[in-house]
Structure 1
Amino acid sequence: MPTSRTSCLRLLALFALLPFHTVLGAAPAADTAVRTGTLIDVDAGRVLSQQVILLAGDRIVAIQDASVPLPATLRVIDWSRYTVLPGLSDVHTHLIGDIQSANVAAPLMSTGARDALIGAIHAEATLKAGFTSVRDVGTYRAFVDVALREQINTGLLRGPRMMVAGAYVTISGGGGEVTGMAPDVIIPADFRRGVANNADEVRARVRELIAGGADFIKMIATGAVLTMGTTPGAAEFSEKEIHAAVEEAQKYGKDVTAHAHGADGIKAAVRAGVRSIEHGSLIDDEGIALMKKRGTWLVADIYNGDYIAEVGSAEHWPAEILEKNRQTTDAQREGFRKAVKAGVNIAFGTDAGVFPHGDNGKQLAYMVRYGQTPMQAIQSATISNARLMRKDTDIGSIAVGKYADLVAVDGDVLANIRLLERPSAVTKGGVLIQ
């Protein structure tokens, strides 16, 4: 009679003879085929010709050469004249409420309902522009972003997959507050849900925001260009206070990102353990080296400065804001160039909401101008962003098992990256958006 060890070996041998799908379960049968002319493989940084992407429901189940015959039962999307890329993502957006204007009191002149409705319009514009995922990094009125995310998830609204911050964590009168009002104006409580002035208050705000539905925490570590009365280069939270947020968020499996313009604030946030630095306008060489060492992501909105200079001047935005923009724009772009050269993790984030939603793709050409190759810029807006958001098993590349989020452009996007400013077609989860 065979020993138990012999029986086990025979059983393993039997399993080895079976097809892989028999052992682990067959992949779902494809219901849709997407024919591509050129496919951008961002995982490998290569270009493939004449490929077919097979979908089952909202996921990719296979990628094969176009010469392989297809079952007659498949629905076929013929993009054989297009270059096809993964759905793009933007990890620094503000979908809720009005676009930035000269009126610093504008956030107080809208209702929560109106902010949400406008957010729905912005979400659809973002999706149509090829951005199938976003990280929304803060809203003045707390938790409206959570509501928008939930209604997109239910399918009631069309928009990108959203990760949301719930509200800004900011000091009193800091870069995440509505400022510039008369001293006796009382700012509503739902605009101040994230205000904290010491480490204990920071921990409390983090817990409250996560309980309210936040996917991550956004800390305003320095002053802001667009917040009256604050100085971009000045630190507003200490390293200890930022670390308190990081430590508290980690208890719930959440990350912290830091709005940080000034060099000292950037370095304090990196040492405290934040996942990414937003803006990074006045970063110095020490900060770049520290980010490289720690693996911290840089999200630099390097298109934004030109928009603020042009539109802000034409619309007579406050002189203080225009001057701070002048002081940070060129420095930010030079810091970005140095960070790219140093090998810092670069993510794609635009600060959409300062400029109109749907124009997110305009930043890609700036990223190429300031140091990235076209492929690197595309990777920043796809697989790199997915890794930053810890979503790379679901989004970020055209790969088996991931969502069928696809963008098609008419032409060679590596020769002309501006083609991504207005894609020809978009799918989210296999659903044709346009």
Structure 2
Amino acid sequence: MKPTALALAASALPFLASPAAAQSLYVTAGKLLDVESGQELSGQCILTDHGKIVRIETCGAVPAGAERVDWSAYTVLPGLIDLHTHLADVTESADTAAPIKTSPQATALIGASHAWATLRAGFTTVRDVGTYRGLTDVALRDAIAAGWVPGPRMFVAGGYITTPGGGGELNGVMPNDQLPPDMRLGVSSTPQETRAKAEYLFDHGVDFLKLIATGAVLALNTDVNAPELTEDQMRAAVDVAKAHGSYATAHAHGAEGLKAAIRAGAHSIEHASLIDDEGLQMARDKGVWLVMDVFNGDYIDETGTAEGWPEEALQKNRDTTLAQRERFAKAVKMGVKIGYGSDAGVYPHGLNARQFAYMVQWGMSPLQAIRSATVDAATLMGKQDEFGTISPGKSADIIAVEGDPLKDVRVLESVSGVIKQGVRYR
């Protein structure tokens, strides 16, 4: 592990000694943003207890036993949700061998520092969509849930279901069959193997499955246009997920692999960089969500070029960045369902909110962008009754920002207050 990563991981350790407990809070909001209606309400207070929102009311005396949180100078809105993160992994760099140089134990500790940065940035829930060190995300999720380390609520995939040498493999470091077993938990060549790998992942605690339908921008020796998992393999995985009361999401850049994933029953598509008109129509008609990371192409180009990332990856990024944004704009106009996913881990964790401005630039209203990271993201995960809005009975996930995000969505890039499940972290 790099010294800087060790230092970051150590920054989370003080929380290990005293897990936070939810208190009853009485939160005074300057403006309260109702993400469903788009209304901003003044003079409202939120009462929480045992990690849940009890009621929203005109501010009055602080109820007995509650602690007052004075956010009267801020706009208050639900905790944010990022549907595409990689907390339990090393951050992308020029060293393509970094994941194998980092032990599973060190990876989990690095993940703890990533989780803390993400929570402080206002993201109280994430869907972590894969790690090279399989199941480290399960361990991190469980540590956060137990209160051992601070971080967002996590839903995890455990690893990548991918073809040998595909976009979910650590290619170009050594012969793939010599990689450690925990880095190949989902590698499969037939529908039968895919079904078995999917069952293994659910048996070991994952929440959903991540399918690699096409090559990847940052995976060496893969073609973003080329289909990888077959439609039958993906259908087998989807069937397993449904049997476990869950779903599968598919990484897909190229149009043909993406459409195969939709036909196979994928619930959502990650990236969708080169989706064609037929694919957009299929997604809209079947209610398939698109999770398009329209920010990080700039980061890859600027930082990757400066740091000497592999030229193959940089060129694939150049080939897909503008194309993805143009297709995002078309998807917005067509009314395709879009969830907020940043691909944090390609860039430093904690910068997740930088994508909001890109979504607005490419066709969304500020409210649409905010909804994609709150109520819509919760709906994608089937958790809309648990979180995603500030409503009685839902989890007390609440953030505060200076300014009005409906006028300048970039204010979400600098969060002033964070409450997750009734515990104040900022």
Match of 1:47 among 23, 36, 40: 40
1:190 shift after superposition = 1.0
1:138-153 to 2 correspondences below 5 Å: 138-153=130-145
- 1:131-165 CA-partner distances (Å, limit 9, x unpaired): 00000000111111000001100001100000000
Give, in whole Å, the separation in 2 of the partners of 1:230 and 1:264. 15
Q: Is the 8 A contact 1:170 1:219 kept in 2?
A: yes
The answer for the alignment partner of 2:251 in structure 1 is 259
1:229 alignment partner in structure 2: 221
Q: Does 1:412 align with 2:404?
A: yes
- Determine the structure 2 residue equivalent to 1:37: 30
Using the alignment, how far apart are the partners of 2:385 and 2:391 within structure 1?
Answer: 9
TM-score normalised by structure 2 residue count: 0.93
Is 1:56 aligned with 2:81?
A: no
2:352 is the counterpart of 1:352? no
- Equivalent residues in 2 for 1:79-90 (5 A)? 79-90=71-82
CA offsets per residue over residues 265-323 of structure 1, 9 Å max, x none?
Answer: 11111111111000000001110010000000000000010000000000011110000
**CA positional deviation for 1:429:** 1.1
Q: Is the 8 A contact 2:297 2:321 kept in 1?
A: yes
Q: Secondary structure at the match of 2:273?
A: coil
Out of 333, 343, 362, the residue aligned to residue 354 of structure 2 is 362
Extract structure 1 runs of 4+ deviating beyond 6 A: none
Taking the aligned partners of 2:161 and 2:71, their CA distance within structure 1 comes to 44
Write the distance in 2 (CA, Å) between the matches of 1:31 and 1:136.
29
C-alpha displacement of 1:72? 5.5
Give the Cα separation in 2 of the matches to 1:248 and 1:135: 19
1:334 aligns with 2:326: yes
Choose from 374, 385, 390 the match for 1:393.
Answer: 385
Q: Which AA in structure 2 matches 1:63?
A: I
Residue 207, structure 1, aligned to residue 174, structure 2: no
Note the C-alpha offset of 1:114: 0.5
Change (3 A) 1:182 1:38: same
Question: Matches of 1:225 and 1:425 in 2, distance apart?
Answer: 35
Aligned to 2:159: 167
- Tell me the SS of whatever aligns to 2:46: strand
How much has 1:47 moved relative to structure 2?
A: 1.6
The structure whose Rg is larger is 1
* Pairing of 1:170-319 with structure 2 (within 5 A): 170-183=162-175, 186-319=178-311
Report the equivalent of 1:93.
Answer: 85
The range that moved more, 128-137 or 57-66, is: 57-66
Q: 354-363 vs 39-48, which deviates more?
A: 39-48
User: Deviation string for 1:16-49 (max 9, x for gaps)?
Assistant: xxxxxxxxxxxxxx94211101111112232211
**Corresponding residue SS for 2:245:** coil
Match of 2:368 among 376, 390, 393: 376
Q: Would the aligned equivalents of 1:179 and 1:227 in 2 still touch at CA under 8 Å?
A: yes
Q: Shift of the alpha carbon at 1:182?
A: 4.3
Would the aligned equivalents of 1:97 and 1:114 in 2 still touch at CA under 8 Å?
no
Where structure 2 has 5 or more consecutive residues not aligned to the other structure, the ranges are 1-22
Render the CA deviation track for 1:362-387: whole Å, top value 9, x for unaligned: 00100000110000000000011101
> Could you say which residue in structure 2 is the equivalent of 1:134?
126
Distance across 2 between alignment mates of 1:31 and 1:259: 41
Structure 1 residues not aligned, in runs of 5+: 1-29
SS in 1 for 2:178: coil
1:172 is paired with a residue whose SS is: coil
AA at the equivalent of 2:232: K
CA distance in 2, matches of 1:147, 1:73: 35
What residue identity is the alignment partner of 1:351? D
Deviation at 1:240, TM superposition (A): 1.6
Give distance in 2, aligned partners of 1:86 and 1:402.
10
Partner of 2:424: 432
**Cα distance change, pair 433–236 in 1 and its aligned pair in 2 (3 A):** same
